[in-house]
Amino acid sequence: MQKEYWLDRWERQDIGFHQNETNPYLDQYWQRLQLAPGSAVLVPLCGKSRDMLWLHQQGHTVLGVELSGVAAQAFFTENGLTPQCRVHDPFTHLEADDMHILCGDFFDLDKNAVAKITAVYDRAALIALPPEMRKRYAHHLLHILPPATQILLITLNYPQHEMSGPPFAVSMDEVTALYQPYAAITLLSQQDVLEQNPRFQERGLSRLQENTILLRIGTP
């Protein structure tokens, strides 16, 4: 999947994946991470997610990473914020009120950029990527994050042959294969959500499951 695919979707505003409300699992399970006030949270492939605003309201410094400049600017504009902008290769930095978005390629992110991160919120990153890119994404994330970082991961699972992604189906077995050598994995919830998602019914799905997972790096 090429970068141009996502850039084009944002340019055309073909963003059915965007949620206008805060994700309910974030509200329900975030406290399980027991983070200290002021902790820094990474949101990879963040788009213009309002979840970042919710995290900021909990007292966190938020660092998003987003390929599309259209999406990054829209986050600030739609939330009534005027960001400072500076270019520091390989990213364009947008910042307002302890909310930062690095606009560029996630795979250019290095350890220095995430040195203060204590948690990751992944609702739309892993499921946005095809299988080989998921392996690369998880490997890169694990390589750059500080020890003991926690990840709140939300995935979708469905019969992949019934629908071409994104979002892609990611099973618990795959999550285990990607992360278990490096992290403790706790399944927090497993919900059947097809009835609540008519757009996926229209695409022909017979089953849709949403999993909320807590990963603790460094404690396999």
Return the sign of the alpha-carbon dihedral for residues 153, 170, 51, 85: positive
CATH number at residue 200: 3.40.50.150
Low-confidence ranges of the chain (pLDDT < 50): 220
Residue 105 forms part of a structural domain: yes
The domain containing residue 62 runs over which residues? 3-13+23-217
Q: What is the pLDDT of residue 16?
A: 66
In a domain, 121, yes or no: yes
Query: What pLDDT was estimated at residue 220?
Result: 47
**By three-state DSSP, how is residue 112 classified?**
coil
Beta strands 99-103; 61-66: pairing state: parallel
User: Which of 212, 207, 177 has its CA nearest to residue 193?
Assistant: 207
**Is position 18 within any domain?**
no
Based on its alpha-carbon atoms, the radius of gyration of the chain, rounded to whole angstroms, reads 17
pLDDT of residue 10: 79
Instruction: Evaluate whether residue 95 is within a structural domain.
Output: yes
Number of domains in the chain: 1
Q: How far is CA 111 from CA 22, 143, 146, 147, in A?
A: 29, 8, 8, 11
Please give the Cα distance from 79 to 8 (Å, whole number): 23
pTM of the complete model: 0.95
